[in-house]
Structure 1
Amino acid sequence: MSYPFELDGETLWDAGYHSGRLYASLAHGAAEFLELPSGLAPNDQGGRDVDPEQFRGFVEGLYELYASTRNEVLHGLAHGLLVTSLVLLERAGGTVALTPPHEATLLEEKGSLVHSMAV
């Protein structure tokens, strides 16, 4: 069973059911924490539709939190969600400007994760 993330009927990530539900739940919680819309809405296929503009704003807010905190726990909690979100955002046609202290690591991890995120 899958949990698709779609944009205009195109599947951006055909996540496994558990992976997709957990990601959507984490994104929802982070969006609530950041006081931003996640850009992910339930769809008829049992997954989520991606609103590219809202989702980009969410990922930007998540990256700002990640890049600005010195709290190791908060940084770690945001990390996995951020890398997954960067892959999904790229597939939706968007990007976030990354700063040099984090850019190389995040791009490398995004490149590794992209192969695990089936389309």
Structure 2
Amino acid sequence: MFIYELDPIDAIRQLEAFADDKQACKNIRLGDIYAVMIAYNVHKANYKKAYSLVQQLKDREPSIELNRYVNKEIQDIICEKLELSSFITDDKNLSECGNDQQFANDEEVDYSYAMKRNFQ
């Protein structure tokens, strides 16, 4: 069994310790560590903490491509629950929570999480 299944609080504490351990970060990508902590906090409805972790990750790794680690649905949930229009402002992290979506292809439409919920 995984420690996360046995004791998720301890698992998150260990991930926080890994994130602060420069040696561990040589072997484990910082984005992966934060992705688990962010997802955990969203699952527990700790949206402010999840948002804080996103900001910490961006501060520690300014050039990180957040979309590689935190999926758009989780990003949209955080924005929706905190009533943010957008919390990702750089070109590498184009997830927007508002109506202004940026599309790679004009034929493709990617609805936000909130909008998808309204259609269902």
TM-score by length of 2: 0.39
Q: Which has the higher contact order (CA 8 A, sep 6+)?
A: 1
